[in-house]
Structure 1
Amino acid sequence: MSVPSMPSGGVVTHDGAGDAMSCAALPRAMENSSKNIALAVADGVDRLIGRLLEVCVSILLAAEILLLFAGVLARYVFLKPIIWSDELASMLFLWLVMLGSAIALRRGEHMRMTALFAFVSPRMRAQLDTIALAASLGLVVLLFPAALEYAIEEAIVRTPAMDLSNAWRATAAPVGFGLMGIFALLRLVRLADTRLIFSSLGTVAFIVGLFWLLQPLFAPLGNINLVIFFVVVVASAVFTGVPIAFSFGLATFGYLMLTTRTPPLIIVGRIDEGVSHLILLSVPLFVFLGQLIEMTGMARAMVAFLASLLGHVRGGLLYVLVGAMYLVSGISGSKAADMAAVAPVLFPEMKRRGAKEGDLVALLAATGAQTETIPPSIVLITIGSVTGVSIAALFTGGLLPGVILAITLCCVIAWRYRNEDRSLARRASAKEIGKTFLVAVPAIALPFVIRSAVIEGVATATEVSTIGIFYAIVVGAVFYRQFDWRRITPMLVETASLSGAILFIIGTATSMAWSLTQSGFSRSLAVAMKQLPGGSMSFMAVSIVAFVVLGSVLEGIPAIVLFGPLLFPIAQALGIDLVHYSMVVILAMGVGLFAPPFGVGYYAACAISRVSPDAGMRPIVGYMTALLIGLAIVALVPWISTGFL
C-alpha cells in the first residue's frame, strides 16, 4: 500500500512559517516572562518590607500614645512628672515621621497636585506618574549620603535626660530615606513597563545633569536664582505631579548645592528641625483620635442629634451638614476624615428628600473651607509651631470666624431651598430629640472638653489629644459598644502614613524657608510689603489673594510653613494682631484648597460623596461667594478673632 506523497514545497513553506513565527514570538515570550518574574519579585519584596514596616509604625505609635498618656497621669494625677518622657517621645517621633513618610510613598499617599491630569491622555498620565516617582527617587538618592553623615555627626551628642547618644534618634533619617528609595524603586517596577521606567529615569537624570552643567551661570544671577528654583522648579515639579514635599526638597537641594557653598548636611538638619517642635507630636494623635470618633459611632451620634433638631425645616439637613462639620472638624487632622465621618450619614436621606447631588458635594467642600479655623485644627497647631503664636489664643480665636462663615453659608442654603417640598420631612418629637441628645452627649462633650482644656491652659494640645484618645476608647467600648479591636492596627498604620505625609512636608518646607531667609529674601519682602499703599489693609488684601492661590496649589500646611515665618513679622510690624492675621490667612488658604478647578479638597469631597466633579462646579460658585463675603467680614472686623482673648 502506497502513501500519497505531499508536495515538498508545501511542507517546506508551512514549516518555515511556523519557525519564523516561533522565532518572532520567542523574544516577546522571554520578555514577558522576565517582566512577570520582575513583577513577582517586586510584589513579594514590597509586601514583606511593607508588612514589617507597618508592624513597626503600629508599635511606635502605640508606644507614643502610652508614653504620653503615662506622662499626663504622672504629672496631673500622681504629681510626679516623668522627666525623660518628652525626650523619649521626641526620639520616637522622628522615627514615626520618617517611617510614616516611607509608608505614604509606598501607598502613594503623599500630597500632590493632580488636577491637570484630567486634561492629558492616559499614556501621558502614566508617563507623568512615572516621572514623579523617578523624581522622588532622585531626591532620596541625593539626600541619603547627607542623612547618613548627619546620623554620624549626631552620635557624639548626648541627650540631657536619658544620657543616650543622639544617634538613636538621628538614625531615623537615613533609615527613612533608604526605605523611601526602596519603595520608590519597587513602585516604578510594579507600575510601569521597562521602556517607561528608563525614559522617566533618563528624563530626571538629564534635568539634574543639565542644571549641574549650568552651575557656572547661576553665580552672577543673585536673587534671580530664587525665582529659578523656588518658583520655576517648584511649580514645574508640582504641576508635573511630583509630591509637594519632594518638590520642595528638590528645589532646596538644587538652590543650595548650585548657588551656595552650603553642605547637603544642612538640609537634613533643617528637615529634622522642622518636625522636632514638641507641639507637632499632637498631629498623629489627633489624626488617630479622629479615626476613633468615626469607628466608635460618636460622629454618627452627633449628626443624628442635629438632624432631629433641624431635619424638618426647609433645607434642614443642609444646616445639619454645616453644624456637624463644625462639631467634628479639626479633631481628625484630615479634612477628608471629617467629611467621611459626616457625608455617608446624611447624604442618603438628603437625596431622598430631593437634594441634588451636585449641591450636596459643593456644600460639603464649602464646609471643609469654613471649618479650617475650628480647633483643634492641625493647621492651627502648625501655624503656632512655625510662627510662635500662642496655641491657646489660636484655639480661642478660631471659633467665632467659623461661625461667621457658617452664617453666610446658611444664607445661601435658605435662599436655594426656600421652596423645598417638606412632605417627606417629619418633625421629631420632644421624646425623640431628648433620646438622640442623651445618646449624643458623650460624643458632643469631647470636642468641647478638648478645646476648653487647651484654651484654659489645663493641658497642652499634645496632652489633651492623648486624653481624648483614651476617652474615645472608653466611651466607644462601654457606651456605644461599637469598638472593633480588629480595626486598631489598620488605623494606626493609616495614622502613621497620613502624619508622615503631613510632617515630611513641614520638614522640607522648613528647609526651603531657611534657604529663603538666608538669601535675604525675607528682608526684601518685608520692605516691599511695608511700602504697599494703604498700609495694613493693602497688606491684608494681598495676603488673602496670595493664600487663596497658595492654598489651591500647595495645600494648607506647606503654604503656612513656607510663608508664615516670612509674612507674620511683617503683619506684626504693621500693627495687625497675629491671631487675627492667622484666622484670615487660614480661611483664605481654605477657600483655595476647596475651590475648583485646582483645589484638591474639592476633589476629595467628590470622591467621598461618589459624585462627579462636574456636578458640583456650578453650585459651588454660590457657596464660595458666601465664604469670600464671610472672609471679608472677618478681615475687616478684628474683634471676631480677638474679642474673647
Structure 2
Amino acid sequence: MLILLAMLILLFLFTSVPIFISLGLGAFLSVLLLSDTQPMVLIQRLFGGIDQFSLMALPFFILAANLMDGGGLSDRILRFSRALVGHLAGGIALTAQVASMFFGALSGSSPATVIAIGKVMYPELIRGGYGKSFSGGLLASAGAISLIIPPSITLIIFGSVTGVSVGKLFIAGIGAGLVMGFVSIIYIYLYAKREKLPRDKRASGKEVGRTFLQAFWALMIPVIILGGIYTGIFSPTEAAGVSAIYALFVGLFIYRELNFKSIFSICKESAITSAQVLVLVAAAQVLGWVLTRERLPQLVVEVITENIHSAWMFLLVLNIILLLMGMFMEGVAAIIVTAPLVYPAAMALGIDPVHLGVVVIANLAIGMYTPPFGMNIFVTQTITKIGLSEMMPGIFRFLAVNLVGLLLVTYIPELSLFLVNLLN
C-alpha cells in the first residue's frame, strides 16, 4: 500500500493537483483499492483531524496579522526601527531586517511580513544604493524569520501534530528567531561598511522616544501574548483570540486606520486563508492515519536507530532532508508530512522535543525563500517587480548567512531552550 500511496501522491503533485487533494485523495484511493477499511473511517479522520482546540489559534492569528497590516501597525514599527538603527552602517537595510523581526512577532505570517515591510522599504533600499538583487534577497529572507518568532502558525501546526506544548515552542522560538536575525544583521552591517553605503543621521533621544510611543500599542502585542500564556491568564489558543481583538481595537480606535468596510474585507481574506490552511491540515491527518496504520513511523524509527547512533548525526540528516523539502513544499505541508515520522526517532535519541520543533521550523523558514518554489521569492517579486534571475544572487547571499544561523540553532540547544528552562 505504501508504494501505491507514494506513487499516487507524486503523480498528483507533478500534475499540479493541489497539495490537499494530492495527500487526501492519494490516501483515500490507496485504502479503497488495497484495504478492507471502510471509506467512512477516512471521512471521520478528515473532520477529526481539525477538531483540535490548539488549531483554533490559526484563524485568529491570521485575522490578527491582517488587522495589523491594515490598521497601520506595520508603518509605526518601521518608523521606530529606523530611529533605532538607521544611523548605523547599513541602516536602511538594518531597518528592514529589524522591522521584519518586530512584525513577525506581531503577525506570525511570513508572506504578510514581506508585503507589509517590503512595499515600504524596497524603494528606500534602492535609493540607498543597495541594488535590486541585494534588496530582494534581504526582504525575502527577513520575512521568513516570521515562521520562527512567535506567534508562529508553523509552531502551532508542529505542536498540534506532535503534542508538544505550543507555549514552550513559542518561548523557544524567541531565542531561535533572534539568532537567525542576528546573523543577518551582522552580515548587513559588514556589507554596508565595505561598500560605504549611506546611513541616516542619528535620531535624537526625543525622536526615538516619539516613534516608540507611536509604536507602543503595536509592540505590546507580543508582550500580551507571551506574558498572558506564561502567567496562566490564557492558553496559546485563547491568546490568538486576544491578539485579534486587540489588533482590531488598536486599528479602529487608537490609530484609526480601520473602518467597517476594510474590516469586512480583512475578515473575508482571513477566512479564505484559514480555510486553505485547515483543509490542508485535515487532508494530511488522513495521510498520517494511513501511514501510522501501515507502521511507517515505526519503520522509520527502526531504520534510524539501526543506522544513526547519535543525535548530532540525526540532526544533520534532518536538516538536509528538510532543506530539500523546503525547496518544493510549503511549510505547513512539510511539517504535517515529516513531523509524525521524525518525532518518534528524535525521542528515541533523547532530543528535546521543543528543540526539535525549533530546528524543524528554522529549516522550513529558510525553505520559504529557497529556489525554485520558495513562496517568499514570488511574494517579493510581486512587490518589487524584480526578475527571478536578477534576484538569485541576493537570495543566495542570505541563504548562506542563514545556514550559519541554522547550524547555531541546531547544535547549541541552549540558544532556544534558555528561556524555556528559565521560565519553567
Superposition TM-score tier, normalisation by shorter sequence: over 0.9
Q: Which residue of 2 aligns with 1:227?
A: 3
The 2-side partners of 1:508 and 1:331 are apart by 29
Q: Which residue of 1 aligns with 2:201?
A: 426
Length-normalised TM-score, structure 1:
0.63
How large is the Cα RMSD of the aligned pairs? Answer: 1.7
Write the letter of the residue equivalent to 1:240. T
Q: Which residue of 2 aligns with 1:629?
A: 404
Verify the 8 A CA contact 2:83 2:211 in the aligned structure 1: yes
The 2-side partners of 1:337 and 1:578 are apart by 28
SS at match of 1:428: coil
1:462 to 237, 250, 254: 237
The 2-side partners of 1:500 and 1:457 are apart by 29
Write the letter of the residue equivalent to 1:228. L
- The CA deviation at 1:239 is 2.8
The 2-side partners of 1:278 and 1:472 are apart by 22
The answer to whether residue 79 in structure 2 is matched with residue 304 in structure 1 is yes
1:541 to 306, 316, 327: 316
Q: Deviations over 1:329-351 (max 9, x none)?
A: 16435321121111122222222
Write the letter of the residue equivalent to 1:227. I
The 2-side partners of 1:586 and 1:470 are apart by 27
Verify the 8 A CA contact 2:179 2:405 in the aligned structure 1: yes
Q: Deviations over 1:267-323 (max 9, x none)?
A: 211111111111111111111111111111111101111111212222112111121
1:325 to 76, 84, 100: 100
Q: Which residue of 2 aligns with 1:554?
A: 329
The 1-side partners of 2:265 and 2:253 are apart by 22
Verify the 8 A CA contact 2:108 2:150 in the aligned structure 1: no
- The CA deviation at 1:241 is 1.7
Verify the 8 A CA contact 1:293 1:472 in the aligned structure 2: yes
Q: Which residue of 1 aligns with 2:27?
A: 252
The 2-side partners of 1:633 and 1:513 are apart by 31
Extract unaligned runs of 5+ from structure 2: none
Q: Which residue of 1 aligns with 2:186?
A: 411
The answer to whether residue 50 in structure 2 is matched with residue 275 in structure 1 is yes
1:596 to 371, 391, 394: 371
Matching of residues 181-200 of structure 1 within 5 Å: none
2:214 to 427, 431, 439: 439
Verify the 8 A CA contact 1:313 1:422 in the aligned structure 2: no
SS at match of 1:597: coil
Verify the 8 A CA contact 2:111 2:375 in the aligned structure 1: no
Q: Deviations over 1:250-272 (max 9, x none)?
A: 21112111111122212211111
- The CA deviation at 1:442 is 1.0
Q: Which residue of 1 aligns with 2:393?
A: 618
The answer to whether residue 74 in structure 2 is matched with residue 290 in structure 1 is no
1:373 to 122, 143, 148: 148
- The CA deviation at 1:227 is 3.0
Distance 1:249 1:532, change over 3 A: same
The 1-side partners of 2:308 and 2:70 are apart by 52
Distance 1:288 1:273, change over 3 A: same
Q: Deviations over 1:435-457 (max 9, x none)?
A: 11111111111122112222333
**Structure with bigger RCO (C-alpha 8 Å, 6+ apart):** 2
Extract unaligned runs of 5+ from structure 1: 1-224
Q: Which residue of 1 aligns with 2:293?
A: 518
The 1-side partners of 2:362 and 2:159 are apart by 15
The 2-side partners of 1:533 and 1:282 are apart by 36
Verify the 8 A CA contact 1:325 1:368 in the aligned structure 2: yes
Q: Deviations over 1:470-526 (max 9, x none)?
A: 222222223212122211112111111111110111100110011011012111111
The 1-side partners of 2:384 and 2:259 are apart by 25
Verify the 8 A CA contact 1:370 1:402 in the aligned structure 2: yes
1:487 to 240, 258, 262: 262
Q: Which residue of 1 aligns with 2:252?
A: 477
SS at match of 2:193: coil
Q: Which residue of 1 aligns with 2:112?
A: 337
Distance 1:235 1:456, change over 3 A: farther
The 2-side partners of 1:522 and 1:478 are apart by 51
- Percent identity (aligned): 30
- The CA deviation at 1:415 is 2.7
Length-normalised TM-score, structure 2:
0.95
Distance 1:491 1:371, change over 3 A: closer
SS at match of 1:477: helix
- The CA deviation at 1:430 is 2.5
The answer to whether residue 54 in structure 2 is matched with residue 313 in structure 1 is no
The 1-side partners of 2:295 and 2:199 are apart by 64
